[in-house]
């Protein structure tokens, strides 16, 4: 072998046969793969067309304009049984986005708390957080959802024996969580405006404080002032106006409550399951992110005289976020996709309304499931685009 | 020491801050060890810590006694029907789990044929355990047996071939189905994931984009829509007269879904291999597949073991979703049994869920602990 190598290196490299030419091989391989895929798609489409024709199922998206004829338990937009399938689709879509958005909100907060707790120097805090994470992430989400729905929420007492909270204004029973409904009176708009103004002023002050700190090093208590502006000022306005809201309290009439707002057990179970489960994963991501910040950074901050809290907020978290955000994005996507398990607890999300009821009623499974899949693909791409943008804002700028 | 100083540098000895004589040795600090010190550091380091500790202790005192009471002290262990579990103050109805245990394991698999499932399980354990223990020799034969021979035997035993009584897959259920779906998913997704990951990094544009589309499609949609697709849509795409089993269709969906995730995990590993490794392999004159098999993949796969195991764990948990298309896996069969009027009691559902949760937990937690152990073992980096 060695001799052969030396010989060939001395002369011109021998021309390989076409069979061994990497370019030819690449082309041949790709053409074969392409033919295979084309064959699969072609045979699938012709088979589907034949099968559908034989079963007498209509094709195309015309069915979207037909009358749906079924009721949906929970809807954010106007919907009746007389609405079209198209409207049913939008009900499912908004319900999916609604539960996903609220779930992401709670999972993020809880995940950050648990993640930081796992790094606590306090033994009890650390262990409780660890047990939480290990238990929840090693049990299937579907089981957790069914547990909340079937074992906890349906085991609650009937409306007559409701658990009463907050001076008998909030009731918890197997029909859901029933809370007073607040109706706005004249003057409520001033209250809303005060919240908006509070937020706007807080943003302006935060910017000014940051600029001043950059220029002079003087620290302004931004968070406390902002909280005062966003929560305190509207509260004062609320009482000055004499609380311009009338509460409609739920009342027990017959076998159920009337009045008030009801959060249905299906929604509660889904939200509880999604947030608690995803929070366990977010906690691990946060922990890994904080551990990824080198210890020298903490030591440097301490040696500059920063206090532990300030170090956490100004030095550790900003650097940890760079590590945290990409996997956090995946968790947000997972939560959104997992909300499709709503079908198991009967919350009318996109999959349950559209891939479930509508597909069964119309028989147009191909169209319905394709639309559902396209929606989830779009949601995935939008979320990751947003998070990539956010990521690029916080990413390390190397100079 | 002082001698040498005195000899070499006289000025030093005059300096006030250089000590010339030894101090008496002091006793070591008392509080640096023992329970008291541990408590001080771990629980009561600062006032804030003390408050947190008290809050946590109150929380545990609130949650633990009722939990233990429910699971053990007032739980019902024996009984032949719901009567045993009825009544005020009764805890978990373990008698229900006990009575239904065989169903939870085998589903509706014919009772006379259950030895075949047991035999399969024993074969699996016998071939898996030695493979998992690093010091046991003959890893290669072991792996070939587990990945090639065992699936064939398992298939023959479970479905019933060569004179064994056939058992239709709609009779399968319980942990059996959970494990079949999970293991098939794992065994298929690993090689397919490797191929897809290599495809995604290929220089051949068609191969690359075909892989990207495949991966992004399966990753972008919820598993449940894939299961719907496999149970409702897949039969439509097959020629008339060709049907295949519902469980098999679900398996195809689960395996593709897992492959896409696996591909992304492995791609991460491939990206982390320094370019020099590729170049060195090229310089050695290795062909593409030799280079991948001997140089790149062993390093890449070792690097992403945690990710691979995470995918396995995710897959194991996701198998529970097959219940939505009417396949009775462990969770499905547990839930199905709540409807049994013989056992309808307030505690039945919660106990059933607790049992299922425990089974899933044992498998998933076991996998994650084993992966941590392997990670430490294979860690060749010198940090």
pLDDT tens, A241-252?
777 777 777 777
- With contact defined as beta carbons under 8 Å apart, do A103 and A274 qualify? yes
pLDDT value for A68: 76
pLDDT classification of A43: cutoffs 50, 70, 90: confident
Residues of B in contact with A54 (CB under 8 A): 240
pLDDT classification of B9: cutoffs 50, 70, 90: low
pLDDT value for A174: 79
pLDDT value for A156: 80
3-class secondary structure, A5: helix
- Of the listed ranges B143-157, B205-219, B233-247, B309-323, the least confidently predicted one is B233-247
Q: What would the two tokens of residue A296 be?
A: 């020298």
pLDDT value for A265: 87
pLDDT classification of B357: cutoffs 50, 70, 90: very high
Distance CA B161, CA A63 (A): 46
Nearest CA of chain B to the CA of A5: how many Å? 11
| Contact across the interface for A128 and B59, Cβ inside 8 Å | yes
**How would you write A207-259 as a 3-class SS string?**
HHHHHHHHHHCCCCCHHHHHHHHHHHHHHHHHHHCCCCEEEECCEEECCEEEC
Quick one: which H or E segment has residue A172?
strand A170-173
**Among the residues of A304-364, which ranges form H helices?**
308-311, 317-338, 342-345, 350, 359-362
pLDDT value for A5: 46
Percent with pLDDT over 70 in chain A:
93
pLDDT classification of A14: cutoffs 50, 70, 90: low
Check pLDDT > 80 for residue A12: no
Looking only at Cα atoms, what is the longest distance across chain A?
101
The stretch B24-48 carries a mean pLDDT of 77
- With contact defined as beta carbons under 8 Å apart, do A97 and A350 qualify? no
pLDDT value for B58: 92
Check pLDDT > 60 for residue B360: yes
Mutate to test the interface with B, among A138, A292, A363, A365 (most CBs of B within 10 A): A138
Check pLDDT > 90 for residue A13: no
- Of the listed ranges A85-94, B27-36, B55-64, B156-165, the least confidently predicted one is B27-36
Distance CA B242, CA B236 (A): 10
pLDDT tens, residue by residue, B286-338: 888 889 989 889 888 888 888 888 889 999 999 999 998 888 999 999 988 88
Where in chain B are all domains bearing CATH 1.10.3720.10? Answer: 96-378
Nearest CA of chain A to the CA of B266: how many Å? 16
Q: Return the CATH architecture of domain B96-378.
A: Orthogonal Bundle (1.10)
- Of the listed ranges A149-158, B4-13, B44-53, B352-361, the least confidently predicted one is B4-13
pLDDT classification of B258: cutoffs 50, 70, 90: very high
Nearest CA of chain A to the CA of B346: how many Å? 7
ipTM (interface predicted TM) = 0.84
The stretch A282-300 carries a mean pLDDT of 90
Percent with pLDDT over 70 in chain B:
93
Is the model more confident about A81 or about A206? A206
Query: Which residues in chain A (84-143) have CB-CB distances under 8 A to chain B?
Result: 120-125, 128, 134-135, 137-143
Option in B203, B206, B221 nearest A373 (CB)? B221
Nearest CA of chain B to the CA of A369: how many Å? 7
Residues of A in contact with B233 (CB under 8 A): 365-366, 369
Taking Cα atoms as reference points, which of B253, B259, B280 lies closest to residue B197? B259
pLDDT value for B8: 52
3-state helix, strand, coil in chain B (%, to 5): 75, 0, 25
Mutate to test the interface with A, among B50, B52, B225, B356 (most CBs of A within 10 A): B225
pLDDT value for A6: 46
Q: What would the two tokens of residue A123 be?
A: 């033994």
Check pLDDT > 60 for residue A309: yes
pLDDT value for B330: 92
pLDDT value for A221: 80
Q: What would the two tokens of residue B32 be?
A: 């640096």
pLDDT value for B1: 45
Check pLDDT > 60 for residue B10: no
Mutate to test the interface with B, among A38, A50, A124 (most CBs of B within 10 A): A124
Residues of B in contact with A38 (CB under 8 A): none
Option in B207, B225, B320 nearest A33 (CB)? B207
pLDDT value for A83: 82
pLDDT tens, residue by residue, A124-162: 999 999 999 999 999 999 999 999 998 888 878 777 777
| Contact across the interface for B238 and A47, Cβ inside 8 Å | yes
- With contact defined as beta carbons under 8 Å apart, do B94 and B77 qualify? yes
- With contact defined as beta carbons under 8 Å apart, do B315 and B258 qualify? yes
- With contact defined as beta carbons under 8 Å apart, do A109 and A90 qualify? no
| Contact across the interface for A155 and B350, Cβ inside 8 Å | yes
Q: In terms of CA atoms, which chain B residue is nearest residue A383? A: B220
Query: Which residues in chain A (11-70) have CB-CB distances under 8 A to chain B?
Result: 26, 29-30, 33-34, 37, 43-45, 47-48, 50-52, 54
pLDDT value for A363: 78
pLDDT value for A282: 94
The stretch B265-285 carries a mean pLDDT of 88
Taking Cα atoms as reference points, which of B352, B307, B175, B319 lies closest to residue A140? B319
Nearest CA of chain A to the CA of B137: how many Å? 32
Is the model more confident about B161 or about B352? B352
pLDDT value for A279: 95
Option in A34, A143, A365 nearest B360 (CB)? A143
pLDDT value for A3: 46
Taking Cα atoms as reference points, which of B75, B72, B102, B92 lies closest to residue B352? B92
pLDDT value for B383: 47
Using the Cβ of A151 and the Cβ atoms of chain B, whether some distance falls under 8 Å is answered with yes
Angle between helices A123-137 and A265-292 (to 10 degrees): 120
- Of the listed ranges A213-222, A299-308, B299-308, the least confidently predicted one is A213-222
Taking Cα atoms as reference points, which of A370, A358, A376 lies closest to residue A63? A358
Mutate to test the interface with A, among B353, B358, B368 (most CBs of A within 10 A): B353
DSSP state at residue A154:
T
Residues of A in contact with B348 (CB under 8 A): none
Query: Which residues in chain A (241-300) have CB-CB distances under 8 A to chain B?
Result: none
Distance CA A269, CA A276 (A): 11
Q: What would the two tokens of residue B144 be?
A: 């070939």
Check pLDDT > 50 for residue A25: yes
Question: How many C-beta atoms surround the C-beta of residue A68 within 10 A?
Answer: 25
The stretch B198-215 carries a mean pLDDT of 89
pLDDT value for B30: 66
- With contact defined as beta carbons under 8 Å apart, do A119 and A287 qualify? yes
pLDDT classification of B13: cutoffs 50, 70, 90: low
pLDDT classification of A1: cutoffs 50, 70, 90: very low
Check pLDDT > 80 for residue B156: yes
The stretch A275-291 carries a mean pLDDT of 93
Nearest CA of chain A to the CA of B114: how many Å? 26
Check pLDDT > 50 for residue B120: yes
């Amino acid at each position: 072998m060695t001799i052969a190598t030396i010989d060939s290196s001395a002369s011109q490299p021998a021309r390989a046969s076409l069979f061994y030419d990497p370019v030819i091989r690449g082309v041949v391989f790709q053409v074969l793969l392409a033919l295979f895929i084309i064959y699969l798609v072609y045979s699938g489409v012709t088979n589907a067309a034949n099968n559908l024709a034989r079963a007498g199922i209509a094709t195309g998206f015309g069915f979207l304009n037909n009358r749906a004829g079924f009721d949906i338990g929970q809807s954010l937009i106007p919907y009746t049984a007389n609405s079209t399938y198209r409207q049913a689709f939008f009900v499912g879509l908004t319900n999916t986005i609604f539960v996903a958005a609220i779930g992401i909100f709670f999972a993020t907060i809880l995940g950050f708390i648990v993640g930081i707790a796992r790094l606590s120097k306090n033994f009890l805090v650390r262990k409780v957080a660890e047990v939480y994470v290990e238990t929840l992430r090693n049990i299937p989400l579907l089981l957790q959802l069914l547990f909340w729905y079937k074992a906890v929420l349906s085991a609650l007492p009937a409306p007559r024996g409701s658990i009463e909270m907050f001076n008998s204004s909030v009731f918890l029973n197997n029909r859901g969580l029933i809370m007073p409904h607040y109706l706005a009176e004249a003057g409520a708009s001033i209250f809303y405006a005060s919240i908006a103004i509070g937020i706007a002023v807080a943003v302006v002050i935060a910017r000014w404080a940051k600029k001043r700190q950059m220029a002079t090093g003087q620290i302004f208590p931004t968070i406390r002032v902002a909280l005062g502006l966003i929560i305190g000022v509207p509260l004062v306005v609320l009482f000055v106006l004499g609380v311009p809201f009338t509460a409609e309290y739920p009342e027990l009439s017959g076998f159920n409550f009337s009045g008030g707002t009801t959060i249905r057990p299906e929604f509660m179970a889904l939200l509880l399951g999604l947030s608690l489960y995803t929070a366990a994963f977010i906690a691990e991501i946060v922990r890994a992110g904080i551990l990824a910040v080198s210890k020298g950074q903490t030591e440097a901050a301490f040696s500059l005289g920063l206090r532990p809290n300030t170090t956490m907020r100004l030095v550790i978290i900003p650097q940890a976020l760079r590590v945290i955000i990409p996997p956090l994005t995946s968790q947000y996507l997972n939560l959104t996709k997992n909300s499709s398990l709503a079908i198991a607890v009967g919350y009318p999300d996109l999959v349950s309304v559209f891939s479930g009821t509508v597909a069964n009623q119309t028989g147009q499974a191909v169209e319905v499931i394709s639309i559902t899949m396209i929606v989830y693909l779009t949601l995935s791409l939008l979320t990751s685009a947003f998070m990539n943008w956010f990521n690029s804002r916080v990413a390390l700028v190397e100079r | 020491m002082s001698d040498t100083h005195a000899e070499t540098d006289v000025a030093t000895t005059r300096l006030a801050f250089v000590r010339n004589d030894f101090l008496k040795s002091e006793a070591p600090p008392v509080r640096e060890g023992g329970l008291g010190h541990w408590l001080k550091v771990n629980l009561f380091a600062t006032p804030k810590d003390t408050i947190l500790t008290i809050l946590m202790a109150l929380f545990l005192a609130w949650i633990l006694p009722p939990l233990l009471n429910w699971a053990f002290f007032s739980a019902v262990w024996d009984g032949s029907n719901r009567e045993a579990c009825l009544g005020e103050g009764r805890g978990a109805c373990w008698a229900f789990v006990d009575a239904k245990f065989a169903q939870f394991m085998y589903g509706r698999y014919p009772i006379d044929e259950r030895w075949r499932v047991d035999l399969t399980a024993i074969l699996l354990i016998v071939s898996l355990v030695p493979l998992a223990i690093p010091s046991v020799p003959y890893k290669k034969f072991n792996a070939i047996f587990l990945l090639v021979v065992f699936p064939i035997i398992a298939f023959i035993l479970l479905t019933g071939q060569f004179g064994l009584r056939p058992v239709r897959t709609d009779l399968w259920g319980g942990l059996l189905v959970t494990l079949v779906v999970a293991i098939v998913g794992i065994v298929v997704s690993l090689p397919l994931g490797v191929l897809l990951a290599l495809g995604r990094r290929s220089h051949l544009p068609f191969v690359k984009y075909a892989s990207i589309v495949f991966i992004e499609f399966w990753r972008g949609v919820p598993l449940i829509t894939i299961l719907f697709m496999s149970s409702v849509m897949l039969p439509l795409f097959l020629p008339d007269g060709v049907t295949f089993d519902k469980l098999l269709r679900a398996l195809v969906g689960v395996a593709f879904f897992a492959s896409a995730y696996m591909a992304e995990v492995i791609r991460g590993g491939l990206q982390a291999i320094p370019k020099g490794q590729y170049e060195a392999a090229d310089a050695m004159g290795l062909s593409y597949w030799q280079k991948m098999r001997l140089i790149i993949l062993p390093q890449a796969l070792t690097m992403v073991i945690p990710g691979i195991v995470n995918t396995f764990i995710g897959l194991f948990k996701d198998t529970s979703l097959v219940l939505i298309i009417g396949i009775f896996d462990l969770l499905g069969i547990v839930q199905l049994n709540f409807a049994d009027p013989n056992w309808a009691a307030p505690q039945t559902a919660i106990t059933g869920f607790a049992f299922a949760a425990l089974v899933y937990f044992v498998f998933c937690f076991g996998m994650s602990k084993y992966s941590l152990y392997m990670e430490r073992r294979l860690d060749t980096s010198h940090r």
